[in-house]
Structure 1
Amino acid sequence: MTDAGHDREQRGATGQFAGRRIVVTGGSRGLGEHVVRLLLSEGARVATCARKPESLEALRSSLDTPAALFARSLDVSVPELLERFVEDAVSMLGGVDGVVACAGGARGRGITEASPEDWAATWEMNVGHVARLVAASTPHLRETGGGSIVVVASVSGWKPGPQAQYGSAKAAQIHMVTSLARELARDGIRVNAVSPGSMLIPGKRWDRMRQEDPPAFARFRSEFPAGELVRPEEVADVIAFLLSDQSRAVTGVNLPVDKGQNAPTPEGY
């Protein structure tokens, strides 16, 4: 963790989310980890889940305030596991004020190679997971008088690139947000999407390309007007804004956080 991240965490209960209770799926690594750390640093109590228990334990052991985190290992595409996690998280936190659907992913390659199982798995990781998370959380958000739901979509949901199963699932998430925002407005619940551009995360695809194939990485950087990929902490800041009272008039939007990225992959459009 950076010195800035440590300083944020030390602010604890004096932060803008002091007393808030927030559920985050996919919070052990990458963008999700940045979101969890930011919320904890601003005083929130957080419940998160991820597939790998070792990643969750590494996160917990690195925190100065581990008691503020409720964590469980599970696959968000398994309905009963996700729903039970939400119920137990609400019980542990004493309610819920905000939800971040950060878990997601993709399976399969191009259209002639991807199997029906690849399409179904990609859909469940993204669209099915969000639908069940919102459905399970909504009754509890109603009890607290409303709240904010943020869905992490992707630049691939509205700027086409391979593979189609991932882009179409992310596009469905964006459309779902606009529909749910209208449906849940009467309950005081806001629903928004954030569409990150390609993020430079240590050990992930673009970081590996940067190290293993510098010429290809340089070509990909040209898709960004400023020549820089998105950093996950930049996306986390926007998610925090959408969870905060500062965005109380914002609902039903898809907010790109992509530094003006053109094509979402090195293959172009």
Structure 2
Amino acid sequence: MNRVVLVTGACGGIGSVLCKRFVQEGDKVLALDIDAAALKALAAQLGETQVTPVAVDLGDAAAVQQAVQAAAGVSGPVDVLVANAGAAEGLTLARTDAASWQRDIHLNLNGTYHTVEAIRPSMIEREQGSIVLIGSVNGMAALGHPAYSAAKAGLISYTKSLAIELGRYGIRANIVCPGTVKTQAWQARVDKNPQVFEDLKKWYPLRDFATPDDIADAVLFLASAMARVITGVALPVDGGLMAGNRLMAEELTLESL
């Protein structure tokens, strides 16, 4: 498609697949991550002519602005932003302190804001662009990781603000909310309970979990012309998790669903 696509969290389980899929579409990718060595390896794997590494800490607004502008100055202005970077610390409120709360909010919410601000003026000037944030079902229901969840809930509201304020410029903004995705981020939980995925299946109507490619499918659709009048949408990609609680419904109705 020959677009310029900025992907944050580019070296993670979802981010690296997003970069790969956009390259396969014929796009140039500005791959943003804090890990310079991993970015170099990613660019070598996907093709240095198609992938430009951008090593920067999303928590530093000025550095993000400078890095993105420098990369775009070489590749051209950003047509699509996929704000994917994120991480979670405190599993519960009891295990969350002020410092970990701030880190989760700063990366997941503020880091996304810093990235959008780096590309927003150019998109407004050209009156075109697509912004896709990566949220979480944690932003839609209480599922643990309270600080991370608060940040992801904030991203849903932020997406709607972007949609209503930038729509007049032809810019669309949507958010994809994954449920459980089998990536390296789950390794600590697998180490603690090797049956964790099997145990979780009962909560998912499809009894299956998303892969990074499933998330990429949703992102590529929302970033494409096929979604040209879709904006302000929070799209769960979650095997039906947010549709409702079958186990609770069975206890309420005393019927097998």
Common fold: TM-score over 0.5: yes
Structure 1 residues 1-269: aligned runs within 5 Å: 18-63=1-46, 65-201=47-183, 203-205=184-186, 209-210=189-190, 213-261=193-241
Q: Kindly provide the CA deviation profile for residues 164-213 of structure 1, in whole angstroms up to 9, marking residues without a partner as x.
A: 11111100000110111001111111010000111012x331x5655763
Task: Work out the number of aligned pairs and report it.
Answer: 244
Offset of 1:124 from its aligned partner? 1.1
The answer on whether the counterparts of 1:97 and 1:144 sit within 8 Å (CA) in structure 2 is no
Please tell me the root mean square deviation across aligned C-alpha atoms, in Å.
1.9
Letter in 1 for 2:9: G
Counterpart Cα distance in 1 of 2:85 and 2:195: 31
The answer on whether the counterparts of 1:23 and 1:89 sit within 8 Å (CA) in structure 2 is no
Letter in 2 for 1:161: L
Offset of 1:127 from its aligned partner? 1.2
Counterpart Cα distance in 1 of 2:9 and 2:196: 29
Classify 1:150/1:262 alpha carbon distance in 2 versus 1 (closer, same or farther; 3 Å).
Answer: closer
Counterpart Cα distance in 1 of 2:197 and 2:225: 39
The answer on whether the counterparts of 2:8 and 2:84 sit within 8 Å (CA) in structure 1 is yes
Q: Kindly provide the CA deviation profile for residues 205-248 of structure 1, in whole angstroms up to 9, marking residues without a partner as x.
A: 1x565576343332112222222111110110110111111100
Letter in 2 for 1:112: A
The answer on whether the counterparts of 1:23 and 1:48 sit within 8 Å (CA) in structure 2 is yes
Counterpart Cα distance in 1 of 2:242 and 2:161: 27
The answer on whether the counterparts of 1:150 and 1:243 sit within 8 Å (CA) in structure 2 is yes
Secondary structure at the aligned position of 2:74 is classed as: helix
Letter in 2 for 1:108: G
Counterpart Cα distance in 2 of 1:40 and 1:255: 23
Classify 1:45/1:200 alpha carbon distance in 2 versus 1 (closer, same or farther; 3 Å).
Answer: same
The answer on whether the counterparts of 2:92 and 2:144 sit within 8 Å (CA) in structure 1 is yes
Offset of 1:259 from its aligned partner? 0.9
Q: Kindly provide the CA deviation profile for residues 4-25 of structure 1, in whole angstroms up to 9, marking residues without a partner as x.
A: xxxxxxxxxxxxxx22111111
Unaligned runs of 5+ in 1: 1-17, 264-269
Give identity over the alignment, percent.
31
Unaligned runs of 5+ in 2: 244-257
The answer on whether the counterparts of 2:236 and 2:242 sit within 8 Å (CA) in structure 1 is no
Letter in 2 for 1:220: L
Larger displacement relative to structure 2 (209-218 or 74-83): 209-218
